[in-house]
Amino acid sequence: MKLDVLVVGAHPDDAEISAGGTILRLVRAGCRVGVVDVTRGEMGTRGTRANRDAETTRASELLGLLARENLELPDGRVEVTTDARERLAALMRKHRPDAVLAHHVEDLHPDHIATGRLAREAWYLAGLSRLAAESGDSAHRAKGLYHFTSHVAHQPTFVVDVGPVWDERVEVVRCYASQLRPADEDDDGEHFLFGADILERMVTKARYWGESVGARYGEPLLHVGPVSIDDPLIGMLRQ
Ligand SMILES: [Zn+2]
């Protein structure tokens, strides 16, 4: 199915935590959105593979996604290999999005860094016709590639006002219950690095970025280089 937007995250929940409001706004505007998770998050400190899969299914329903795929790369060991980028490029040719959203290439988690690079390289490769022909596909390169942020703040190209979908956005992240509560008595419930839980950090960042554009809640997106006023993603968010 042709999608308008394809979001690429390293672990199930990354798309929701970093770009959930943008996805909800796009879907509410009538856009067809899908997500590719690069791993199943099986190395996460909290949750099992089975309950993480169930959480992802529920979150996908609430978001209104039309596709959710998994590249099945090993969690904690994501690398930009020829095989990985060609498999991701094949998914981009299959879904033919006008815009791709993926991790920024600067982050603390190596999987996020690798996924950002993987998405950028796959985005380019998907537009090469001879490579596509080897798989019997026709080439397709999305017009826009945007990066969302996770652990490291970047000066964004623009901020999406996610105030209109904030309550749903919180509900979507709450689907990942195994990630939001302590796993056992040794787990103090605090994020290992930042000392606050996922929801609290999400609210803090969204309030900060919202404030920067005069909105209550915002999500930053970064585009490498200037953006055309005819950019498809901006057009979709204006609907
Ligand atoms: Zn992640």
Domain carrying residue 148: 5-238
**Per-residue DSSP letter, 57:** H
Q: Which residues pair with 141 in a beta bridge?
A: none
If one counts the domains in the chain, the total is: 1
Q: How far is the CA of 143 from the centre of ligand 1 (A)?
A: 25
Residue 78 parent element (H or E): none
Q: How far is the CA of 78 from the centre of ligand 1 (A)?
A: 11
Which positions of the chain have pLDDT values less than 70? 45, 181-196
pLDDT score for 187? 62
Query: What CATH number did the domain enclosing 35 receive?
Result: 3.40.50.10320
Q: How far is the CA of 229 from the centre of ligand 1 (A)?
A: 31
| Mean of the per-residue pLDDT values of the chain | 91
Q: How far is the CA of 15 from the centre of ligand 1 (A)?
A: 9
Q: How far is the CA of 111 from the centre of ligand 1 (A)?
A: 7
pLDDT score for 195? 46
**Which of 164, 122, 203, 174 minimizes the C-alpha distance to 16?**
174
Q: Which residues surround ligand 1, an ion (CB under 5 A)?
A: 10-11, 14
CA–CA distance, 184 with 86 (Å, rounded to integer): 40
pLDDT score for 219? 97
Predicted model pTM: 0.93
Q: How far is the CA of 237 from the centre of ligand 1 (A)?
A: 25
pLDDT tens per residue, range 193-236: 444 577 888 999 999 999 999 999 999 999 999 999 999 999 99
pLDDT score for 51? 83
